[in-house]
Amino acid sequence: MMGLMPREETRTTTPPTVRSPAAHEPGTPGGACPRAWTMRLLVLGIVLSALNLRPAITSLGALLEEVRDGLGMSGSVAGLLTSVPPLCFAVFGVTAPRLARRFGPGAVVCAGMAAIATGLLLRPFAGGTPGFLAGSALALMGIAVSNVLMPVIVKRFFPDRVGSMTGLYSMALALGTALAAAVTVPLTDALGGRWQTGLALWAGLAVAAVLPWLPFVRGRITPPGPGESAAESATPAQGPAPASAEHARVEAPRLRMTRSRTAWALAVFFGLQATAAYITMGWMAQIFRDAGVPAGTAGLLLAVTMVMGVPLAFVIPRLATRLPHQGPIVLALGLCGLAGYAGLYLAPAAGAWAWALLLGVANCAFPLALTMVGMRARTGPGVVQLSAFAQSTGYLISIPGPLLVGVLYQHSGGWGLPIALMSALMIPQMAVGFLAGRDRTVEDEAAR
């Protein structure tokens, strides 16, 4: 499909599209410059949204001990917090396609950013564990729908730049993850030492992410039509959607994802890489600390692992879109993960920096999975359905992982069995990822 999409630069010779008079009024996005600014605003919205998709989780991890003491939270409830994010992603992610059809993807992402801001602002001051969990769930609900719709927006408006835009989005996501893990504690100390302030300050970043999406709330964002540039299609609607666009939405084929082997392979791959990521975020620092690494250094090692996703999240999707089969990338990332786990088992302290780097590379299976979501469907509606299926199913698969690692650690008294479990899960991750990387689309397998 991507080979059939003309690049934006080649569309200058296309005869001008007849537009409504409102499109040419002064101050509206009808001119070339306003359309260009609209596209820049869309890119800014994607980047700011991606920055907000993990700080709600990693900022809490940095202050978990203080939160437990402040709320009188039991150890079992605190342990369940590590599995709440994937649970919310699975439950709320399935609603994203219906909401996008009803209100448009831009409006839903805008509402998602507002939900993140509201949840992050309210949860530290809600008073008690139930209120804290409710605020967290509200923020995670906004993250869930945005998780699903980001690949959809990239596919619709940048069909010939899926790799580079997914890389930009994934790089911003990794940056937000690492930033929250690294600076939450220092900022909390600088602002008086109250954990409530340290958690609530991240609401400001979510408020900033709301602003670029506001112009897209009133009208639906529609994908480029024949002879129309992406910039033109990104202009907020000034009136009713064209009949051809409505017809395309009505006639879009409905897919039964459970019939598609590719969709299942991608869902399981997404779930297993999410399992590895949440285990890493929740437990890797403790592995290093138990091996004798100082607490400050252990936190820095975790930040290094997260930061590795910043440059690689931009490189890997671009490389993936240039290959007919993404399986070799899956295998290379999996081998890095196996090497990192082996190092944690054999010499966790002596080679700590090497293992942190290797596991950071392995965690880049996430941007690869997002890229394959955009490549395994031909149409915008297909990407919506595949993204919702793969992410919701995948996050359900990932729920038990962090809890099981904690149980094995507690009952075995060491990290041998948990690391063996992590290594064992990497094998099926590599297998299903190889299958998901084959050059085929879900429309061919799942059309009703």
Summarised one tens digit per residue, pLDDT across range 215-236 is 888 754 554 443 444 444 444 4
Position 193 scores a pLDDT of 84
3 state SS for 418-437: HHHHHHHHHHHHHHHHHHHC
What average pLDDT does range 366-383 have in this prediction?
86
Position 295 scores a pLDDT of 66
Q: To which residue do tokens 């008079």 refer?
A: 21
Burial class (CB in 10 A: 0-12, 13-18, 19+), 356: buried
Residue pLDDT, tens place only, 310-325: 788 778 888 998 998 9
From the CB of residue 353, how many other CB atoms can be counted at a distance below 10 Å? 12
**What are 193's two structure tokens?**
């030492």
Using CA of residue 4, residue 7, residue 12, residue 17, what is the dihedral sign? positive
What average pLDDT does range 250-258 have in this prediction?
65
What average pLDDT does range 53-69 have in this prediction?
81
Position 231 scores a pLDDT of 44
Range in 53-57, 75-79, 221-225, 255-259 with the lowest mean pLDDT: 221-225
What average pLDDT does range 369-393 have in this prediction?
86
Using CA of residue 250, residue 252, residue 254, residue 257, what is the dihedral sign? negative
- In the predicted structure, residue 6 carries a pLDDT above the cut 80: no
Position 115 scores a pLDDT of 96
- In the predicted structure, residue 107 carries a pLDDT above the cut 50: yes
Position 79 scores a pLDDT of 60
Position 80 scores a pLDDT of 67
Which of the two residues, 18 and 389, has the higher pLDDT score?
Answer: 389
Strand-pair partners of 301:
none
Rounded to the nearest angstrom, the gap between the alpha carbon of residue 442 and the centroid of all alpha carbons in its chain is 21
- In the predicted structure, residue 23 carries a pLDDT above the cut 70: no
Residue pLDDT, tens place only, 395-447: 889 888 887 887 888 788 888 999 999 999 999 999 999 999 998 888 888 76
Which of the two residues, 225 and 83, has the higher pLDDT score?
Answer: 83
The Cα 129–Cα 9 span in angstroms is 54
∠ CA(175), CA(179), CA(182), 5° rounding? Answer: 140
What average pLDDT does range 6-20 have in this prediction?
39
Position 326 scores a pLDDT of 94
What average pLDDT does range 29-54 have in this prediction?
78
Burial state string for 367-382 with b = 16 or more CB within 10 A and e = fewer than 16: bbbbbbbbbbbbbbbb
Residue pLDDT, tens place only, 178-191: 888 778 888 888 88
Position 403 scores a pLDDT of 78
The Cα 94–Cα 77 span in angstroms is 26
Q: What is the largest CA-CA distance in the chain?
A: 72
Which of the two residues, 144 and 86, has the higher pLDDT score?
Answer: 144
Average pLDDT along the chain: 80
The Cα 340–Cα 342 span in angstroms is 5
